[in-house]
């Protein structure tokens, strides 16, 4: 079947052992120092790029997570295989006069190929040999931009935790500049955002501010509520014949991770998670320190700051890590950092290993730590869309199991990416690709969904793509559980089940903007009055 390898062709001897080899006897690739450790590839980027053997599964047109950019462009350069091969050529050509790519980290060919990678991590799970282009892209960009200025959007979105923290001191004022006509156009221009996109509004109050304001004044006096939820730990502590309610400090603790998006933009999601976890009989704690996993930094190759943020987390949460306290996250991409990037950057740090093991998505936590609890039924139909990192790394098994326990009849019509992919869809040169990917499966499915169906998506970027590309707004699993826990289930809401919640949030944002506007007007009037008085003296 392979003429010339074992048996020679007619009149010719078989190939020699060192003939027609992919690598050859003189194989000596460039081995640059990297931020990621590539422990599964013997610490070698060159070894990692050898994973691809050209199967071409990444060129499928439907029914898979990998590869959204290829499905939109139909260009080999923008497939997993094409990118892996270009990176392999880069490790062969550095310092080689006859190499195809000879300028290493400065290669414009590699940069162009990686530019449309959505870092969805689909190839990490769908590729038969586990090619991980998202990691390769982050590593490449960290070196490509070394000593260079990045695009404005990279600083705007890569450091979103910083800007969000600043905005939290005057969210109404910031929203005036990002939501009002003309001002929002200027804001988009400054941040490098395409004009077709809407800038998400900052919440009037962060989740952490709400949590510490309300929880410090209110203590739970029982582990059992009207829905009969009760934690296993609580049941074990209490005698079976005792009706004594546990004090809050006796409840099993769980740390709720306040990611940047659910803390500053959609705190209602985290508030719903608090309700769910407390109803299950757990004592929710939230770190007071300003911590961020740095998820957006990886998309732009800002690995120095990303590593600093992770080390800060390991230091700040050291007591919780040592105590084995479970950490529940709501944003799948943030949990993916603890499951993937954290271990690739610090593979030998025992704290990193422990943190990765102790971190759960809400659905995973309910399935592993509260599986025995009877969930209230919510007889609804729903469209479920999983975040790419959720589907790739954590899988949707626990999410689907919780929905089944709720009695929800769900449908998942979009196995691929939503197209937003973090800040990808907010970058001006990628807006068209972002929408094209969304239109492959997800957005048409959402538009076709009957108006009484729930739209469920845990990823912040997924919810934004749905909100900006369809008439619907998606709910997080925590909100769906909160609805199920309510006495009336889903209240009357027109025209969609989520409409009343969305109107309430919009009203809160608008009210904060009005207060900021009145404050500015009062300040301007006071300044004018002082000016006028000073002129009369």
Q: Which tokens go with 375?
A: 């969930």
CA of 328: how far to CAs of 41, 123, 342, 463, in Å?
30, 26, 16, 20
CA pair distance 126, 172, nearest whole angstrom? 43
pLDDT digits (tens, 9 = 90+) for 102-141: 899 999 999 999 999 999 999 999 999 999 999 999 999 9
Q: CA-to-CA distance for 509 and 132, rounded, in angstroms?
A: 40
Output the pLDDT for position 247: 63
CA 218/CA 274 separation, integer angstroms: 13
Asked if residue 85 lies in contact with residue 50, where contact means CB atoms within 8 angstroms, the answer is no
Residue 362: closest CA among 429, 425, 274: 274
- What is the token pair recorded at 374? 């009877």
Which pLDDT value is given to residue 57? 94
Tell me the two tokens of residue 334.
Answer: 């943030």
Residues 61-80 have pLDDT tens digits of 887 899 999 999 999 999 99
> CB under 8 Å to 11, separation ≥6 — which residues?
none
CATH 3.40.50 positions along the chain are: 381-497
* Contact predicate 130/52, CB 8 Å: no
Distance, in Å, from the CA atom of 298 to the CA atom of 161, rounded to the nearest integer, reads 13
Neighbours of 43 (CB within 10 A): 14
Opening angle at CA 120, ends 115 and 121, nearest 5: 110
Which of 399, 392, 340, 393 has its CA nearest to residue 368? 399
List the structure tokens of 235.
């049941």
Q: Specify the DSSP class assigned to residue 244.
A: P
Token code pair at residue 54:
């050209």
Q: Which of 336, 313, 321, 207 is nearest to 253 (CA)?
A: 321
How far apart, in Å, are the Cα atoms of 79 and each of 41, 91, 162, 488? 21, 19, 33, 48
Query: 57, 126 in Cβ contact below 8 A?
Result: yes
pTM equals 0.91
| CA distance linking residue 330 with residue 372, whole number of Å | 21
- Give me the sheet containing 381-385, strands edge to edge: 409-411, 381-385, 454-457
**Secondary structure (3-state) at 255:** strand
Provide the pLDDT for residue 26.
Answer: 76
Closest CA to 329 of 297, 291, 301, 303: 291
Other C-beta atoms lying within 10 Å of the C-beta of residue 297: 27
Q: What's the pLDDT score for residue 1?
A: 67
Residue 533, number of CB atoms within 10 A of its CB: 9
**Residue 165 burial (10 A CB sphere; 0-12, 13-18, 19+):** middle
pLDDT score recorded for residue 35: 97
User: How would you classify the pairing of strands 381-385 and 359-361?
Assistant: unpaired
Domain(s) labelled CATH 1.10.1060 in the chain stretch across 39-144
CA-to-CA distance for 522 and 519, rounded, in angstroms?
Answer: 5
Looking at residue 34, its pLDDT comes to 97
CATH, domain 39-144, list 3.30.70, 2.60.120, 1.10.1060, 1.25.40: 1.10.1060
Cα gap 360→402, rounded to integer Å: 14
Identify the residue whose tokens are 């060192």. 18
φ and ψ at residue 224, rounded to 5 degrees: -120, 130
DSSP-derived 3-state class of residue 66: coil
Please give the biggest Cα pair distance in the chain: 112
The predicted pLDDT at position 3 comes to 78
Torsion of CA 477, 479, 481, 482, to 10 degrees: 170
The two tokens of residue 516 are 């900021």
- Tens-level pLDDT at each residue, the chain (537 residues): 677 777 878 888 888 877 777 777 778 899 999 999 999 999 999 999 999 999 999 999 887 899 999 999 999 999 999 999 999 999 987 666 667 888 999 999 999 999 999 999 999 999 999 999 999 999 999 999 999 999 999 999 999 999 999 999 999 999 999 999 999 999 999 999 999 999 999 999 999 999 999 976 645 433 444 344 543 333 433 334 444 556 677 899 999 999 999 999 999 999 999 999 999 999 999 999 999 999 999 999 999 999 999 999 999 999 999 999 999 999 999 999 999 999 999 999 999 999 999 999 999 999 999 988 888 889 899 999 999 999 999 999 999 999 999 999 999 999 999 999 999 999 999 999 999 999 999 999 999 999 999 999 999 999 999 999 999 999 999 999 999 988 555 556 789 999 999 999 999 999 999 999 999 999 989 988 888 888 877
Class of 381-497 per CATH? alpha beta
Q: How far is CA 54 from CA 82, 119, 127, 232, 250, in A?
A: 9, 20, 10, 50, 56
Residue 183 main-chain phi, psi, to 5 deg: -65, -40
């Amino acid at each position: 079947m392979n003429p010339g390898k074992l048996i020679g062709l007619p009149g010719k001897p078989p190939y020699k052992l060192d003939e027609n080899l992919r690598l050859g006897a003189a194989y000596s690739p460039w081995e640059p120092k990297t931020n990621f450790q590539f422990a599964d590839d013997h610490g070698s980027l060159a070894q990692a790029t050898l994973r691809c053997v050209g199967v071409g599964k990444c060129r499928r047109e439907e029914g898979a997570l990998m590869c959204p950019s290829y499905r939109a462009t139909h260009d080999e350069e923008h497939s997993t295989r094409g990118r892996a091969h270009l990176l392999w050529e880069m490790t062969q050509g550095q310092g080689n006069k006859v190499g195809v790519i000879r300028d290493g980290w400065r290669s414009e060919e590699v940069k162009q190929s990686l530019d449309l990678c959505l870092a969805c991590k689909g190839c990490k799970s769908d590729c038969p040999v586990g090619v991980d282009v998202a990691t390769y892209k982050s590593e490449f960009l960290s070196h490509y931009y070394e000593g260079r200025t990045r695009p404005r959007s990279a600083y705007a979105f890569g450091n979103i935790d910083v800007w969000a923290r600043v905005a939290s001191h005057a969210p109404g004022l910031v929203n005036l500049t990002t939501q009002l006509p003309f001002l929002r156009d200027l804001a988009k221009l400054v941040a490098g955002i395409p004009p077709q996109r809407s800038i998400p509004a900052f919440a009037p109050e962060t989740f952490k501010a709400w949590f510490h304001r309300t929880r410090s004044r209110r203590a739970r006096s029982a582990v059992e509520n009207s829905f009969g939820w009760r934690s296993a730990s609580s049941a074990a502590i209490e005698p079976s014949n005792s009706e004594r309610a546990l004090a809050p400090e006796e409840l099993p603790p769980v740390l709720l991770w306040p990611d940047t998006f659910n803390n500053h933009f959609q705190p209602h999601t985290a508030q719903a998670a608090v309700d769910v976890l407390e109803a299950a009989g757990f004592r929710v704690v939230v770190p007071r320190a300003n911590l961020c996993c740095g998820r957006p930094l990886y998309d732009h190759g800002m690995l120095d700051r990303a590593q600093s943020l992770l080390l800060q987390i390991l230091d700040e949460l050291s007591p919780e890590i040592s105590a084995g306290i479970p950490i529940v996250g709501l944003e799948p991409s943030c949990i993916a950092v603890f499951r993937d990037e954290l271990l690739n950057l610090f593979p030998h740090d025992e704290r990193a290993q422990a943190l990765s093991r102790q971190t759960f998505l809400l659905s995973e936590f309910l399935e592993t730590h509260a599986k025995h609890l009877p969930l209230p039924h919510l007889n609804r139909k729903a469209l479920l869309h999983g975040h790419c990192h959720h589907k790739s790394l954590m899988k949707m098994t626990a999410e689907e199991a919780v929905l089944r326990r709720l009695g929800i009849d769900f449908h998942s019509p979009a196995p691929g990416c939503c197209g937003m992919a973090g800040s990808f869809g907010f970058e001006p040169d990628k807006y068209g690709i972002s929408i094209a990917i969304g239109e492959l499966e997800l957005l048409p499915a959402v538009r076709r969904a009957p108006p009484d169906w729930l739209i469920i998506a845990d990823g912040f970027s997924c919810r934004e793509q749905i909100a900006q590309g369809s008439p619907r707004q998606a709910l997080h699993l925590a909100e769906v559980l909160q609805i199920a826990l309510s006495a009336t289930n889903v209240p009357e809401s027109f025209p969609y089940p989520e409409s009343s919640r969305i109107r309430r949030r919009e009203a809160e944002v608008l009210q904060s903007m009005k207060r900021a506007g009145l404050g500015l007007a009062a300040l301007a009037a006071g300044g004018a009055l002082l000016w006028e008085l000073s002129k009369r003296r």
